[in-house]
């Protein structure tokens, strides 16, 4: 008999047109099958959307886009370092207005998973923990040390009390159905020894004592004490088992893509594979699933961690960085969610049975006494399609796929059969135009104002010390920049002065990057990479007879965000030598070094539209090109239309950008490079088989990030002040806005 696979292509459309309403309840409990909300078992399909990685003007659209994609829950971390700027000094405005974000979710009639942490990892600077906490004596992060536990509990209690005051827990009629304490601690607990075990137990008990009326979870913790539920983070969690048989199976992080690093390639995860992993999870009894990320967003300002995490945190998520649906992924997952929800009653109330359909093929069937029946037919073979017989009917199963049969008869969805329409995204350039409100509007082009930083010490030195200090311990992350400056005397009899050769400057640094100057002239730059920040610099240096000033600008590019004892990882210069002198190598490492924290422009706040300091800006129609340590400012028009906007920095070097005082973030169109001999880009990705971040990479030899998201809400109708700080030199006349346009899929 010819294989046949009954398909019901319109079932999902009927389901979504009728569709999803959620009532907030006064009671959230659980059993081994699922969460029980208002006395009813429910499947939870959740979407991670981090409120600080977008702006309030985007929140309603992001939440609605997720809901239209078949999601019923929004998940987010709480970002401690964005809220407690110094001990006891709190901020909950702008992008950090947590209550406003949750109330938008509530208004959309959706649930919320609040991962209070307060450690988040998340490729976020310092893992979301405030830098100031590291400098309180006796503190070891995530360990049984009293200062850490005191401040962690204080912040968690603040957040819990805020949620209670606003009646946002489900026990109060709000949307929050789960809360998380700590995050992924099980990965590192063994490194912390007995102190780590005591801390994890303390954190769980402390959370439960908060009495919020909804269950607590602890992500990736293998020995969570009852009643805290442990959860799974991975690319595949179908075989995950909770630590207690009375607890539901929860997947807090299913990664639909991966993050990018400056200098790294562009990783992708195919729609077919992410759908396969989700279907397998529900097939094997999962009931709470969260995409990390569903909308990745943007690491505005200096919030990216890593080091070397890009400003873009797009994550190849179903909703892209700019808030547009990424198709076919968004549409394919929407169909998947509809198919799974059609199975909800049987999945949560039926008895499960497993049938072998072949060597790598199986069926999981859920049926109850009412006659409800749902089946998942899986082909785990990563190379070969198979035809199987289930209940006397033949079904064709593509390799590495799951077919979903909500009535145990008809296939409404197969993970490898992508029917969603693809979309094409373009970044359409829009030249910077002078503002109509600008006094220069009558001129032929854009007028720039330029300010050049001094290479080395500006103003009074912060301190002088023999040898080198740690960069992070010195700046305490108040800036990316730290100047190390010294001077040497070159004898006029040095051979290199006579024969035209040049000595060689040798620098070793713990990271993350540096620019070397001699007598105010840039000699060269160097940096680590996304995996190994330590690096060596080796370049000729131009010296003259007499006194020579050596100025080294050390830079951080986001602080460590995870790992055991990650807060103790340092940065900065560790050795400086110059070879080529008549007497041999000159070691400057023990010299007296003068230090200055940050840039003069930062100190003066010249990126702020309302700054009042006098500064020697130079006005010009032809701004200097390839000039290091230069601030550029222009007053520009808002690009036309209402589509999202990116700033194209392809022709610039490295630095920071602001619009109207808002921090766009770090830019660095650094080209990608191999991290290993086997690290190759692909033309087309094979979705079949276990996924890893290096499986489907593109962008070899291209900038890791060219465009930098500027939210529309940051623009003013007329006068917009764009400020750029360029570290090593670029061409500001080539900076453009780019309008992000999507085609091939209806808005």
Catalytic residues: 184, 253
Cis peptide before 227, with omega less than 30 degrees from 0?
Answer: yes
The token duo for 146 is: 């009293």
Give the tokens for residue 418. Answer: 């992508």
Is residue 138 a contact partner of residue 203, using CB atoms and an 8 Å limit?
Answer: no
594 within 8 A of 461, measured Cβ to Cβ: yes
C-alpha 634/C-alpha 647 separation (Å) is 14
The Cα–Cα gap between 246 and 9 comes to 37
Q: Which residue has the tokens 């009917």?
A: 393
Q: Which of 322, 319, 320, 330 is nearest to 421 (CA)?
A: 330
**Angle at the Cα of 603 from the Cα atoms of 600 and 607, rounded to 5 degrees:** 90
Is 341 in a helix, a strand, or coil? helix
Closest CA to 718 of 596, 662, 635: 635
Query: Residues 6 or more apart from 728 whose CB is under 8 A from it?
Result: 515, 522, 525, 628, 653, 654
Q: How many CB atoms lie within 10 A of CB 158?
A: 18
CA 445, chain centre distance (Å): 37
Q: Helix H segments across 559-660?
A: 600-604
**Residues 82 and 91 sit within 8 Å (Cβ to Cβ):** yes
Q: Residue 485 — φ and ψ, nearest 5°?
A: -130, 135
Q: DSSP characters for 459-498?
A: SS-SEEEES---HHHHHTTS-SEEEEEEEEEE-TT-HHHH
**CA dist., res. 59 & res. 102, Å (int):** 10
* Burial letters 659-668, b for 16+ CB under 10 A, else e: bbebbbbbbb
Nearest to 710 by CA among 623, 643, 635: 643
| Residue 654 exposed, middle or buried by CB count within 10 Å (0-12, 13-18, 19+) | buried
Cβ-in-10-Å burial (0-12, 13-18, 19+) of 355 comes to middle
Q: Which residues pair with 353 in a beta bridge?
A: 365
The enclosing H or E element of 136 equals none
Rg (CA), the chain: 28
Contact 582, 494 (CB under 8 A): yes
Contact 82/303 with Cβ under 8 angstroms? yes
Give the start-end residues of each E strand in 468-626.
481-490, 504-509, 513-518, 521-527, 535-540, 546-555, 573-581, 584-587, 592-597, 618-620
CB burial of 200-210 (b: ≥16 within 10 Å; e: otherwise) equals: beebbebbbeb
């Amino acid at each position: 008999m010819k294989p046949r696979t009954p398909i019901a292509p319109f079932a999902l459309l009927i389901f979504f047109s009728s569709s999803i309403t959620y009532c907030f309840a006064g009671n959230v409990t659980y059993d081994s099958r699922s969460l029980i909300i208002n006395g009813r078992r429910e499947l939870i399909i959740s979407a991670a959307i981090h409120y600080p990685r977008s702006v309030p003007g985007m929140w309603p659209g992001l939440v609605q886009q997720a809901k239209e994609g078949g999601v019923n829950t929004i998940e987010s971390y709480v970002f401690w370092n964005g809220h407690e700027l110094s001990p006891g000094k709190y901020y909950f405005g702008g992008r950090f207005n947590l209550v406003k974000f949750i109330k938008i979710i509530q208004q959309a009639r959706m649930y919320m998973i609040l991962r209070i942490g307060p450690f988040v990892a998340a490729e976020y600077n310092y893992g979301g923990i405030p830098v100031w906490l590291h400098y309180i004596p006796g503190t070891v992060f995530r360990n049984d040390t009293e200062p850490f536990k005191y401040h962690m509990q204080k912040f968690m209690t603040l957040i819990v009390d805020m949620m209670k005051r606003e009646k946002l827990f489900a026990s109060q009629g709000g949307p929050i159905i789960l809360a998380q304490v700590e995050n992924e601690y099980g990965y590192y607990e063994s490194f912390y020894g007995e102190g780590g075990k005591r801390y994890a137990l303390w954190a769980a008990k402390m959370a439960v004592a908060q009495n919020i009326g909804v269950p607590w979870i602890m992500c990736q913790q293998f020995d969570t004490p009852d009643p805290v539920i442990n959860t799974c983070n991975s690319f595949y969690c179908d075989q995950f088992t909770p630590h207690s048989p009375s607890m539901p199976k929860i997947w807090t992080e299913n990664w639909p893509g991966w993050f990018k690093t400056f200098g790294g390639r562009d990783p992708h995860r195919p729609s077919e594979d992410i759908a396969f992993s989700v279907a397998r999870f529900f097939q094997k009894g999962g009931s709470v699933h969260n995409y990390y990320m569903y909308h990745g967003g943007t690491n505005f300002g200096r919030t990216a961690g890593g080091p070397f995490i890009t400003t873009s945190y797009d994550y190849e998520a179903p909703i892209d960085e700019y808030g547009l649906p990424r198709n076919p992924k968004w549409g394919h997952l929407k169909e998947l969610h509809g198919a799974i929800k059609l199975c909800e009653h049987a999945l949560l109330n039926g008895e499960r049975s497993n049938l072998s359909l072949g060597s790598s093929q199986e069926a999981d069937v859920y049926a109850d006494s009412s006659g409800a029946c749902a089946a998942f037919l899986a082909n785990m073979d990563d190379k070969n399609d198979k035809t199987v017989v289930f209940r006397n009917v033949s079904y064709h199963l593509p390799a590495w796929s799951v077919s979903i049969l909500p009535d145990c008869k008809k296939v409404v969805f197969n993970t490898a059969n992508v029917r969603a329409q693809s979309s094409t995204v373009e970044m359409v350039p829009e030249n910077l135009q002078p503002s109509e409100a600008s006094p220069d509007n009558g001129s032929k082009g854009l007028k720039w104002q330029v300010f050049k930083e001094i290479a080395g010490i500006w103003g009074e030195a912060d301190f002088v010390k023999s040898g080198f200090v740690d960069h992070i311990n010195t700046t305490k992350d108040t800036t990316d920049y730290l100047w190390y400056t010294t001077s040497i005397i070159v004898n006029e009899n040095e051979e290199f002065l006579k024969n035209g050769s040049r000595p060689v400057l040798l620098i070793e640094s713990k990271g993350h990057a540096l620019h070397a100057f001699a007598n105010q002239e840039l000699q060269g730059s160097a940096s680590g990479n996304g995996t190994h920040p330590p690096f060596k610099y080796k370049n000729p240096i131009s010296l003259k007879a007499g006194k020579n000033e050596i100025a080294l600008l050390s830079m951080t590019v986001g602080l460590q965000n995870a790992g055991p004892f990650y807060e103790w990882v340092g940065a900065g210069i560790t050795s400086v030598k110059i070879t080529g002198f008549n007497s041999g190598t000159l070691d400057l490492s023990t010299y007296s070094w003068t230090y200055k924290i940050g840039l003069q422009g930062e100190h003066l706040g010249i990126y702020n539209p309302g700054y009042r300091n006098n500064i020697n800006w130079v006005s010009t129609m032809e701004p200097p090109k390839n000039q290091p340590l230069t601030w550029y400012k222009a007053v520009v028009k808002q690009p036309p239309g209402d589509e999202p906007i990116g700033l194209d920095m392809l022709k610039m070097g490295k630095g920071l950008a602001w619009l109207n005082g808002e921090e766009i973030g770090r830019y660095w169109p650094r080209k990608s490079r191999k991290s290993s001999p086997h690290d190759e880009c692909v033309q087309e990705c094979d979705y079949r088989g276990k996924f890893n971040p290096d499986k489907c990479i593109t962008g070899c030899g291209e900038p890791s990030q060219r465009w930098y998201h500027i939210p529309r809400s940051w623009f003013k109708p007329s006068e917009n002040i764009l400020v750029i700080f360029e570290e090593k030199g670029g061409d500001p006349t080539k900076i453009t806005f780019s309008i992000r346009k999507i085609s091939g899929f209806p808005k």
